[in-house]
Amino acid sequence: MKIIENRGGVDSRALREAAQALRDGEIILYPTDTLYALGCNALDGRAVERLCRIKGINPDKNTLAIVCSDLSQAAEYARIDNFAFRLLKHYLPGPFTFILPASTTLPKVFKGRKQVGVRIPDCDFARALAEELGNPIMTSSAEADDDDELTSASSLAMRYEGNSEIALCIDGGEGSAVPSTVIDLTDSRSPEIIRQGAGIFDE
């Protein structure tokens, strides 16, 4: 696994290499505003399936999540009505995952539950990566074992070093040990907190 430093802001070399790895169907480890995450090109069905296997995710039972560069990109891959748009505009970028109805532009693997988790993290690199790629990143937190708190890129890279399917690690410095707050917004008039995390939702 290749490790590239990106400490603060957006390093253009790190951004280019990470985006190219995603275009090539690779899986990467990268920083967000909460936990570090494993990511792949959300429009590459095979890469999404490989990432699901690595994390033990069943797309038919678990909602998959994407990182988007902004609300405009998110609106291409999730159905966002006026109520949802107002909430997303208020809380994003930020440490939230909003579950929304998925659009037909996502690969088949996303269609198991007809919904998708949308993230626009308060992390310049993560948003810039989705913009450079030109479409969302399928993302899943790079959680450590329950008895570990691995919040640095180096410690997570060591944990995954035996996995040849993870090609690149972007070292953005120390991450958080707290995940995003998950809000079910499939009924935008009745938001429901599914998981309380770093974000405070007070609607």
Cα radius of gyration (the chain)? 16
Strand partners, 3: 169
What is the model's pLDDT at position 145? 53
Block residue for tokens 């890129």: 153
Lowest mean pLDDT segment, chosen from 11-25, 65-79, 123-137, 139-153: 139-153
Q: Is 12 helix (H, G, I), strand (E, B) or coil?
A: helix
Question: Whole-angstrom Cα distance, residue 194 to residue 189?
Answer: 15
Instruction: Report residue 69: phi and psi, to 5°.
Output: -75, -35
Task: Give the model confidence (pLDDT) of 153-172 as tens digits.
Answer: 888 888 888 788 899 999 99
What is the model's pLDDT at position 154? 86
Domain limits, the chain:
2-195
Closest CA to 155 of 69, 65, 35, 60: 35
Closest CA to 51 of 182, 61, 41: 41
Q: Which pLDDT band holds residue 30 (cuts at 50, 70, 90)? A: very high
Mean pLDDT to the nearest integer, 107-120:
91
Closest CA to 142 of 27, 11, 47, 45: 27
Closest CA to 100 of 190, 185, 182: 185
Closest CA to 187 of 112, 75, 83, 102: 83
- Tell which CATH architecture fits domain 2-195: Alpha-Beta Complex (3.90)
Instruction: Report residue 192: phi and psi, to 5°.
Output: -130, 130
Task: Give the model confidence (pLDDT) of 97-110 as tens digits.
Answer: 999 999 999 998 88
Sign of the dihedral defined by the CA atoms of residues 127, 129, 134, 138, in that order:
negative
